[in-house]
């Protein structure tokens, strides 16, 4: 009898051990997800992805979708939880989204894309060369009169140097400094962007280099003050771009809170969320003072309006994503805006 009792006990033990192993296995191997992707407008099913890992990222889902539809490469895809909602980020994980084991996602075609590096190179190279057409007084611009072949005002030469320096700096930053959280933008927008940068460059250059241009009212004092302000703002803008780039040194696309570094130009982070825009506006204000030209002033005003919109948007994003974000910071102007 004791032997029978021991054998029965041993059998129960082994069965329970097997049952426990199955439970642990099920915990370690979570259920696969099913992902249905619909067209965001027609709600027509485009594909059904079976046995998707729960820890799959949106980027991986884009790649799966791309295999089924080669013409829609990942950068061209907008994947959403709701047809009218925001696009999901590449790093978002399927099991962390508010969906069950069967997820319904919506696809929108963003159209042909172009890389941001290419975009910036095109946008910034144009103003650099367009300005020279007016600076060198090309005959088809101002005419053949010999009086129009050169300018007697040194500030015109200085303005050309500063304008060229600004866009050469931007080109260098594009190649060696900037790290983009989004790799591309719609190709159709490049025309609008180039019209803005190239058009304003031509407008400014036409008046600054015009034969009838008059120098600033306060002469060298005004020009020297503007040059010092210009160089400080350019140095500040470059320093902020380097600091922001260092936050993504390892190729990470995760957003982090930017803080001041040992570089004094970055101390503006104590007060504003986007000091790169603050310095950029300062650069164009100094260029306006230097040239005392109305078109430059109007361009500066438009820059300020646009950069304020961008700064407010980024500031709100920081507040939304980081509960410990410094509450005393303002978007672009310390204590005011």
Contact 178, 306 (CB under 8 A): no
Nearest Cα to 298, choosing from 202, 192, 198, 200? 200
189-223 pLDDT tens trace: 899 999 999 999 999 999 999 888 899 999 999 99
Q: Which residues of the chain have pLDDT under 50?
A: 1-4, 6, 8, 23-29
Q: Are strands 33-39 and 102-109 parallel, antiparallel or unpaired?
A: parallel
HSE on the CB side for 163, CA within 13 Å?
Answer: 29
Q: How much is the pLDDT for 1?
A: 43
Q: How much is the pLDDT for 101?
A: 84
The region, left, alpha or beta by phi > 0 then psi within -120 to 50, assigned to residue 219 is left
Residue 205 sits at φ, ψ, to 5 deg, of -65, -35
* Cα–Cα distances in angstroms (integers) from residue 271 to residues 60, 144, 331, in the given order: 39, 53, 9
Kindly list the domain boundaries of the chain, sorted by start residue.
Answer: 33-111, 114-321
Would you identify the CATH topology of the domain 33-111?
Answer: Ubiquitin-like (UB roll) (3.10.20)
Nearest Cα to 315, choosing from 304, 302, 300, 327? 327
Share in percent of the chain as helix, strand, coil (round to 5): 60, 10, 30
Which residues does 270 contact at the CB level (< 8 Å), separation at least 6? 260, 329
């Amino acid at each position: 009898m004791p032997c029978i009792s021991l054998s029965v006990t041993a059998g129960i033990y082994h069965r329970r051990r097997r049952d426990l192993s199955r439970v642990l296995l099920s915990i370690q191997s979570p259920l696969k997800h099913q992902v249905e992707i619909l067209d965001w407008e027609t709600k027509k099913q485009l594909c059904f992805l079976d046995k998707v890992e729960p820890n799959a990222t949106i980027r991986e889902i884009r790649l799966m979708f791309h295999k089924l539809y080669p013409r829609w490469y990942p950068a061209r895809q907008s994947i959403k939880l709701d047809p009218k909602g925001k696009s999901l980020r590449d790093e978002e994980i399927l099991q962390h989204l508010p969906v069950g084991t069967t997820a319904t996602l919506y696809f929108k075609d963003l159209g042909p894309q172009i890389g941001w590096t290419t975009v910036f190179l095109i946008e910034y190279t144009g103003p650099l060369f367009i300005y020279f057409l007016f600076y060198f007084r090309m005959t088809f611009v101002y005419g053949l009169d010999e009086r129009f072949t050169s300018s007697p005002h040194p500030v015109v030469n200085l303005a050309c140097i500063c304008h060229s320096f600004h866009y050469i700096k931007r080109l260098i930053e594009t190649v060696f400094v900037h790290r983009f959280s989004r790799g591309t933008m719609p190709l159709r927008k490049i025309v609008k962007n180039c019209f803005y940068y190239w058009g304003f460059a031509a407008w400014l250059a036409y008046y600054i280099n015009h034969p009838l241009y008059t120098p600033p009212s306060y002469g060298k004092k005004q020009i020297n003050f503007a040059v010092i302000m210009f160089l400080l703002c350019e140095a500040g803008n470059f320093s902020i771009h380097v600091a922001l780039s260092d936050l993504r040194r390892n190729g990470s696309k995760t957003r982090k809170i930017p803080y001041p570094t040992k570089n004094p130009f970055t101390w503006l982070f104590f007060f504003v969320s986007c000091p790169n825009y603050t310095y950029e506006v300062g650069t164009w204000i100094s260029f306006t003072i230097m040239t005392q030209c109305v078109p430059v002033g109007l361009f500066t005003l438009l820059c300020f309006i646009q950069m304020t919109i961008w700064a407010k948007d980024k500031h709100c994003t920081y507040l939304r994503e980081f509960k410990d974000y410094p509450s005393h910071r303002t978007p672009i102007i310390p204590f005011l805006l």
